[in-house]
A and B are shown apart, each in its own frame.
Chain A
Amino acid sequence: MPSTIDRRAAWRLSPEVSLRDEPFGALAYHHGTRRLVVVKSAALARLLERLGEYPSMEEALAEVPEAARERVVRALEDLAESGIVSGT
């Protein structure tokens, strides 16, 4: 399946999303779609917060330890699917 994430594009946490830290990571709530989504680690939550600062997804992913990268990409694909992150 082709990835829904274009790594050359810039991405960001949707401006309609609120993020709240929780013991297991964070919860993300999309005010527009009323969807609530689990963010499975604190590291991913931090990445989401800073995502908009990177000129491309590629550069954002470069900060993620290699061993975790595939998992993070899959998580981002799910988050893109539910509109939590979006291309700018």
Chain B
Amino acid sequence: MALESGLRDRLEGGLGAPICLTWELTYGCNLACAHCLSSSGRRDPRELTTSEARALIDEIAAMRVFYINIGGGEPMIRGDFFELVEYAIERRIGVKFSTNGTRLDARAAERLAALDYLDVQISLDGADEATNDRLRGPGSYAAARRAMENLATAGFGPFKVSVVVTRDNVGQLDAFAELAQGYGAELRLTRLRPSGRGADVWETLHPTREQSRELYRWLCEHPGTLTGDSFFHLSALGDPLEGLNLCGAGRVVCLVDPVGDVYACPFVIHERFRAGNVREGGLARAWRESPVFTDLRGAGSAGACVSCGSYDACRGGCLAAKFFTGLELDDPDPECVHGAGEVALALPRRRVRPTSEVDHSRRLPAVGR
């Protein structure tokens, strides 16, 4: 999404409907990535049925949401995946969906290529098999590359290669760019957040401060790179990165999870940020009236960041990153480029790292963990 930047102030007070609505179709997944933001694995028996899902699409259309991001779990394991995608597009809702690629065979690729207003993101977290499979599990690199081949062969056009930047792969940015280019695809980089199972690996895998500086430089040198506004905490290093440069949780962004619960952002699946359920009261009401979202739209306090010269650039960073590392919401981002987050994390106060009650991880330990 391209967006002009003068928009930020207008958006902080909230909108009639989200710009960036993520809908996770299922908690089921055939992989078990170590950093899964939604702790997916097993399907939840309470997941929305096909007719409930269609009704939700009707509501999304009525709210005039322009497009939705479909994710999971692995959305393609739902038997009604294509039906729902096609229904949304018929209702003039653009669809972007994220997949691990395991189900994206030649036939699926052709079916996707036939649809307008559809974007596909294939997740890949290493430019080589060893790096990727350490995080995403054995066989996942080969499967993702196969899916990319299938899309290219089907003439899908520029799909997206979607990478979560970690300590292990931050040195491979050029290789990722080359890999994407080889398919005529676009590169999308996002931030590793301590959400879901990401909490277990965040400490050892989030980029170091020096790596973050390199990442910032790389992003400045490669302005077309898609980031979903992930790295705005790095804007504190100099010129602002492209995008809104603000935390959009409950303001611009929200999540509908597979059982219909509405959260402020895909990275805060926790009751503290739950605004309602689409089965009881609906999405529009949760978006417009829930106290949780109204609070997030308030001015907010700069807290410990108040004296920082970079506050206007970074606004204290990512809510999810703070919350799940046990920081206060007005603390600096744990990955604050000036090190204020590390200081806050080290303070000798009692820090409880909240864990989510929503966990669908398969009980066997995930490979690669």
Contact partner, A20, options B2, B4, B64, B119, Cβ 8 Å: B64
Given contacts A20-B17, A21-B16, A29-B66, contact A34 B94 (CB under 8 A): yes
Instruction: Kindly provide the distance from the CB of B18 to the nearest chain A CB, expressed in whole angstroms.
Output: 11
20 contacts between A and B (CB under 8 A): A18-B92, A20-B16, A20-B17, A20-B66, A21-B16, A23-B10, A23-B13, A29-B67, A29-B94, A31-B67, A32-B117, A33-B2, A34-B94, A35-B1, A35-B2, A35-B3, A36-B3, A36-B19, A37-B4, A38-B7
Contact partner, B66, options A21, A23, A24, A31, Cβ 8 Å: A31
A27 at the B interface (CB under 8 A): yes
B15 at the A interface (CB under 8 A): yes
In the bound assembly, the distance between CA atoms of A21 and B3 in angstroms comes to: 17
Q: How large is the interface on B (under 10, 10 to 19, 20 to 34, 35 or more residues)?
A: 20 to 34
Q: Which residue of A lies closest to B14 (CB)?
A: A23
Which residues of B have CB within 8 Å of A38? Answer: 4, 6-7, 10
Which residues of B have CB within 8 Å of A35? Answer: 1-3
A6 at the B interface (CB under 8 A): no
Question: Secondary structure of the B side of the interface?
Answer: loop
In the bound assembly, the distance between CA atoms of A22 and B10 in angstroms comes to: 10
Q: Is A36 within 8 A of B2, CB to CB?
A: yes
Q: Which residue of A lies closest to B3 (CB)?
A: A36
Contact partner, A36, options B1, B10, B64, B92, Cβ 8 Å: B1
Encode B134-159 as 1/0 by CB contact (under 8 A) with A. Answer: 00000000000000000000000000
Encode A43-78 as 1/0 by CB contact (under 8 A) with B. Answer: 000000000000000000000000000000000000
Q: Which residue of B lies closest to A18 (CB)?
A: B66
In the bound assembly, the distance between CA atoms of A24 and B3 in angstroms comes to: 16
Q: Is B16 within 8 A of A22, CB to CB?
A: yes
Q: Is B64 within 8 A of A31, CB to CB?
A: no
Encode B291-331 as 1/0 by CB contact (under 8 A) with A. Answer: 00000000000000000000000000000000000000000
Interface residues in chain A, defined as those with a beta carbon under 8 Å from any beta carbon in chain B: 18, 20-24, 27, 29, 31-38
Instruction: Kindly provide the distance from the CB of A17 to the nearest chain B CB, expressed in whole angstroms.
Output: 10
Which residues of A have CB within 8 Å of B6? Answer: 38
Which residues of A have CB within 8 Å of B7? Answer: 38
Contact partner, B2, options A18, A21, A24, A34, Cβ 8 Å: A34
In the bound assembly, the distance between CA atoms of A36 and B15 in angstroms comes to: 14
Given A29-B94, A34-B119, A36-B2, list of 4 further CB < 8 A pairs? A22-B15, A23-B16, A31-B66, A31-B92
In the bound assembly, the distance between CA atoms of A36 and B149 in angstroms comes to: 30
In the bound assembly, the distance between CA atoms of A75 and B131 in angstroms comes to: 48
Q: Is B4 within 8 A of A18, CB to CB?
A: no
Q: Which residue of A lies closest to B20 (CB)?
A: A36
Within 8 A of A (CB), among B1-53: 1-4, 6-7, 10, 13, 15-17, 19
Contact partner, A18, options B10, B64, B116, Cβ 8 Å: B64
Q: Is A31 within 8 A of B1, CB to CB?
A: no
In the bound assembly, the distance between CA atoms of A35 and B4 in angstroms comes to: 9
Q: Is B66 within 8 A of A36, CB to CB?
A: yes
Q: Is A24 within 8 A of B4, CB to CB?
A: no
Q: Which residue of A lies closest to B94 (CB)?
A: A31
Instruction: Kindly provide the distance from the CB of A75 to the nearest chain B CB, expressed in whole angstroms.
Output: 12
In the bound assembly, the distance between CA atoms of A38 and B66 in angstroms comes to: 14
Q: Which residue of A lies closest to B6 (CB)?
A: A38
Which residues of A have CB within 8 Å of B117? Answer: 31-32
Q: Which residue of B lies closest to A37 (CB)?
A: B4
Instruction: Kindly provide the distance from the CB of A26 to the nearest chain B CB, expressed in whole angstroms.
Output: 10
Instruction: Kindly provide the distance from the CB of A35 to the nearest chain B CB, expressed in whole angstroms.
Output: 5
In the bound assembly, the distance between CA atoms of A47 and B19 in angstroms comes to: 23
Which residues of B have CB within 8 Å of A34? Answer: 1-2, 67, 94, 119
